[in-house]
Amino acid sequence: MSNIIRMDDPQALARKLATQGPVRTLSTPCRIRILHGGAYIADTTSALLVWEHDYFPQLYLPKAAFSAAQKDGSLKVDEGDKIEEGGKTIARMWRLRAGNGKETERAFAFAGDLEGKGKELSGLVKVDFGAMDQWFEEDSPIYVHPKDPYKRIQIVASTRALRVSIAGHVVATSPTAMHLYETGLPVRYYMPLTFIDPSILRPSDTRSKCPYKGEAEYYHAEVGGQTYKDIVWFYTRPTLESAQIEGLCCFYNEKVDMEIKGVDGEWEKLERPKTYFG
């Protein structure tokens, strides 16, 4: 796996990309816009998806994407510190100031003459995704981070019964479930809340966001006097592509014992997958 350098250290990120190059890149024909401080400060159909690490991409924009906003006064760009490597300026920090005065220094622009592994990033601008009010892909908001075009979600309905146990106690038995297949992750099994023993559930304040599924809410489970934190999650307002799991609950199969009815009608124990969620 690649080492992740975040925008907390933009100069280190710029040097890494300029010298080592990104993991991979992909041009996108989508119109990309950035809303910040009550104005669209960038607008382009020439963005580049850049994998700074293995997990998901970021959007890098050409400098021209900011030109219209600069001309009409919606944006002021101040160049800051030089980022140098090997005695050469490879990038400049940018301060972006919207027309209403809202500003951020979480951006940098690569020089137009990069060489070597980082050459394809020449002249592109990196703006910290979370520092902006909203990003748009065409007219659809982008949440959390840009989606990986090589990652997909498939949801299929199943009447193969599921049984879930925690510490030897059966806590859920469902005659039906939605099976969610997500690239790079184990199959997730979503079942109606009514098939989970309500006596074990404890509300959690935890929230997490996924660009593919939406914002998740959680339950703790209390079994045998022990609390298993955030072991169940559900989406009340999923994204359109994940609408089939709205209101359904899912256990971390890395942390529970899960069985599914086989084609012969017998229970089959599923192996616990090994992921970073475990």
HEC sequence for 78-101: EEEEEEEECCEEEEEEEEEEECCC
> Do 242 and 216 contact (CB within 8 A), yes or no?
no
- Residue ranges in the chain whose pLDDT is less than 50: 1-2
Comparing 10-142 with 153-269, is the CATH topology the same? yes
> Do 81 and 14 contact (CB within 8 A), yes or no?
no
Q: How many CB atoms lie within 10 A of CB 262?
A: 10
**pTM for this predicted structure:** 0.86
- Residue 5's pLDDT is 56
200-254 pLDDT, tens digit per residue, is 999 999 999 999 999 999 999 999 999 999 999 999 999 999 999 999 999 999 9
Domain ranges in the chain are 10-142, 153-269
- Residue 276's pLDDT is 83
Q: Is the domain 153-269 a CATH 2.170.150.40 member?
A: yes
- Residue 6's pLDDT is 60
CA-nearest of 53, 77, 2, 62 to 32 is 62
- Residue 17's pLDDT is 97
Q: Is the domain 10-142 a CATH 3.40.50.80 member?
A: no
CA distance 134 to 37: 10
- Residue 2's pLDDT is 45
Q: How far is CA 80 from CA 29, 105, 107, in A?
A: 30, 9, 10
